[in-house]
Structure 1
């Protein structure tokens, strides 16, 4: 594909990702403006709010400054008038990241992933600058460098990851191919990169899946509390719909919290609070319906949830070992490739969990609400240890292939002799010899150690066991098969003429 076309497509991807994100924030505000405010307010005032919501979804923290008249009307103390809002609605982040990863992968398939990633990042930076310049807001302010850098990073990093994966799979005739050739120079280590990447993907995906599972279970078990908080909010239909959409935007954030809970460290809902399988201490919570799923107390059975991450580590290790099997590193069951794959799973999975915990934590208000979400360090440590246990069992545990070593040797010798007869018989009958079947590596590896069955030259004649008459042409060899080679073919040169 032409590099110019790749650049244009990457630019369109960045533009669409930003436009859809801003529109997703603007649409519900417009509905509220029509049905809640009756269209009397200035619709243009919704634009700064929509941009700020999109920026918050791109991990840009907002500095909130409440006006004095609002403080007096609500009764908020003056020292709580200014605070940071940095807990991101990760639904916006996930959408941008997925869109960017697909863009990078397409650029890699086109053979110009560097051009695609750079173009997409530059265009996203320009869009972020335009949005920042057009959204002045005295209530919610942002730092300019954060408004430019963070949305660009949210797009560029997944685009680069998608491009590298695509280039590794499809080749790029450049840097990625050079790295792959260097990695495959030693056959023992050829499958380690793909095994490690597959294991890391399963580890991070399993962490997210475990979080989603625990959120779903908590929603079912504590659905009554969620409904009660909805009813206590006393909002109309438009307000209820807007509240539901806002909580939906924070659903990925809640899933990461669930993953941190399953791993053990849990998360905080304010300074000095903790929600974990070992215990729950939250105090008074904001009246947000989604927080109704938070357990009021912890029970001992919740500690069993940590086994989910151990199981994820086992699956990741099994997948990595299977990849090493297919790549041939299991011929001698070398510990080196398995150690490398296991270390990558543990470190990569822990780093991924820490990154998710970092983007799923922040501030939602003044005072004690300045610390909300999981702590990246404890989450990384717990996830790493749990993945280590599961992956070690899968990577270094014994595997049953086809019995013990003696069975391997016997099977190898018997199979080798049987296949030799079949191939020779085909050649002796004038048929083209069938290609010898490829034995599994664990058979061919020990075939020389077993007892090889001895056979007589007559075994090469498929009619000998029937006791029938000798075939024409046997007189030339003196009525025996001694002149035949191991493959059942005549020893005489094909071009030699028979003598009178």
Structure 2
């Protein structure tokens, strides 16, 4: 496969990824255009709507100017002036990252991986620009600079993760014979990048043992704690949807969108599920989230006004649950047991028991990493959902990140200390048992 073929195939894959993302919104809207409107309306209206939804899902801000008739019908304060929609429907971004990982893996398996990666990312940027330029009308306008940069960066992040995953398998090969065989079979450009990754890893190994251990445990533990809390949050969202299913169906009936309109609305809400999961994680951590200025949903109290008319919002708790503050123990327990398991895993691997300072550094590092991840996730899941009071929807990224860092960090420090004490007790017991056996043998020679 030559360079031209590699670049063309990478561009084709980028086109397919864009088509899948836009098609998720465009297909039901096109069916709605054909069935409900009987082709009487200009199809470009539905293209504009699908492109706008896709761009919004990739973090692009939309400026909306509603017609006067719609402003009067909605009766929303502030709707008469242009307002910004900035809350990303993260399902589209998650899909782009997942497909980008696949692109990165496929590009790494070609004889010209760098050309494949660059061609895929550049083509994706071109297609995104074409979508942004060809869509938009007087009512909805996307930010062109953001439309060019943000979707491309999201896809590029997935491509890079896929490439690094392939590189990592070569970097962590410890057997010299198998490593030499892999290097011989690796394309030259890929081999140079693998060598660069190995050089970075070796530079990391040159750090003092305590610093290297603290960094590794912090990254591993912080990421594990983040994933665990988000997993509990996802389970909580699923339970809330099932428990409030009748309310959600009632809101669907109130909207009266019809079959195709209901499918379109459902697709939009599915794209928003990752946002709801992050909101639930912020709720578990403590600060909770807002659904408008002056509102708040948290374990210690709930204050909701009129919420946007999405049926999925029927699952929002209308009041704080009994003993809601007990839910704050979830991230604390996760932080504690994550650190405990990491500490005991290090002991089983034969690593020396770190000093008290080293243990506290690892525990604090776990909290910092988890706090950064929660802050970034909250930032991505928050934004403006409409005019007036709806300019503030979602969790406060800074507050969620700081509280998560404190809660998980303190719990992780305790987990590190408990894990080390457990390992020390086992080691002491083993030494005593060994000494007793030796004494018994000495006292009873045969």
Distance 1:7 1:394, change over 3 A: farther
Equivalent-residue separation in structure 2 for 1:412 and 1:13 (angstroms)? 66
SS of the counterpart of 1:261? Answer: helix
By how many angstroms is 1:5 displaced?
7.1
Matched, 1:202 2:224: yes
Quickly say closer, same or farther: Cα 1:244–1:114, change in 2 above 3 A.
Answer: same
Pair 51,187 (structure 1): closer, same or farther in 2 beyond 3 Å: same
2:168 maps to 168
Distance in 2 (CA, whole Å) between partners of 1:321 and 1:229 is 49
User: 1:99 corresponds to which residue?
Assistant: 99
Q: CA deviation at 1:323?
A: 4.7
SS at match of 1:173: helix
Question: The residue matched to 1:364 in structure 2 has which SS?
Answer: coil
- Measured against aligned partners, the alpha-carbon deviations of 1:143-164 in whole angstroms (never above 9, x if no partner) come to 2111111111211234334434
Q: Judging changes above 3 Å, is the alpha-carbon distance between structure 1 residues 76 and 259 closer, same or farther for their aligned structure 2 residues?
A: closer
Instruction: Return the alpha-carbon distance in structure 1 between the equivalents of residues 434 and 69 of structure 2.
Output: 88
Cα pair 2:359 2:413 within 8 Å, conserved:
no
1:359 aligns with 2:380: yes
C-alpha distance 412-119 of structure 1, shift in aligned 2 (>3 A): farther
* Alignment pair present for 1:347 and 2:343: no
Change (3 A) 1:187 1:109: farther
Structure 1 residue 271: Cα displacement: 0.8
Shift of 1:413: 8.3
Q: What is the match of residue 377 of structure 1? A: 398
Q: In 1, distance between residues paired with 2:98 and 2:360?
A: 31
Any gaps of 5 or more consecutive residues in structure 2? 172-192
Q: Note the C-alpha offset of 1:279.
A: 0.8
Which structure dedicates a bigger proportion of its chain to helix?
2
Range with greater deviation from structure 2 (259-268 or 305-314)? 305-314
TM-score (norm 2): 0.84
Q: Which residue of 1 aligns with 2:242?
A: 220
Using the alignment, how far apart are the partners of 1:112 and 1:393 within structure 2? 49
Alignment of 1:426-437 (within 5 A): none
CA distance in 2, matches of 1:343, 1:322: 17
Which structure has more RCO (C-alpha within 8 Å, separation ≥ 6)? 2
- Taking the aligned partners of 1:6 and 1:187, their CA distance within structure 2 comes to 43
Name which of 261, 265, 274 aligns with 1:243: 265
Report the alpha carbon displacement of residue 165 of structure 1 after superposing the two structures with TM: 4.7
RMSD (CA atoms): 3.2
Q: Deviations over 1:438-469 (max 9, x none)?
A: xxxxxxxxxxxxx696699xx9xxxxx8xxxx
Shift of 1:234: 2.7
Cα distance change on mapping 1:196 and 1:77 into 2, 3 Å: closer
Output the CA distance in 1 between the equivalents of 2:99 and 2:128: 16
Q: Tell me, in whole angstroms, the C-alpha distance in 1 between the residues paired with 2:410 and 2:355.
A: 20
Is 2:434 the partner of 1:411?
A: yes
Cα offset, 1:247, TM superposition: 1.3
Quote the offset at 1:338 in angstroms.
Answer: 4.0
Provide structure 1 residue ranges, at least 5 long, that are not aligned to the other structure: 418-450, 460-464, 466-500
- Please, which of 309, 314, 335 is the counterpart of residue 313 of structure 1? 335
- 1:323–1:251: structure 2 CA closer, same or farther, 3 Å change rule? same
CA contact (8 A) 1:97 1:159 kept: yes
Residues 62-110 of structure 1, C-alpha deviations (whole Å, 9 max, x = no match): 0011123444566667852421111111110110112223433555677
Q: Distance in 1 between matches of 2:386 and 2:50?
A: 20
> Number of matched residues?
422
Highest Rg: 1 or 2?
1
Residues in 2 aligned to 1:323 and 1:166: alpha-carbon distance in whole angstroms: 26
Matches within 5 A, 1:75-474: 80-105=80-105, 107=107, 117-171=117-171, 172-185=193-206, 186=208, 194-325=216-347, 327-329=349-351, 331-335=352-356, 338-397=359-418, 398-400=421-423, 403=426, 405=428, 407-411=430-434, 414=437
- 3-state SS of paired residue (2:319): coil
Moved more, 272-281 or 112-121: 112-121
CA distance in 1, matches of 2:114, 2:217: 25
Instruction: Report the Cα distance in structure 2 between the residues aligned to 1:102 and 1:344, rounded to whole angstroms.
Output: 31
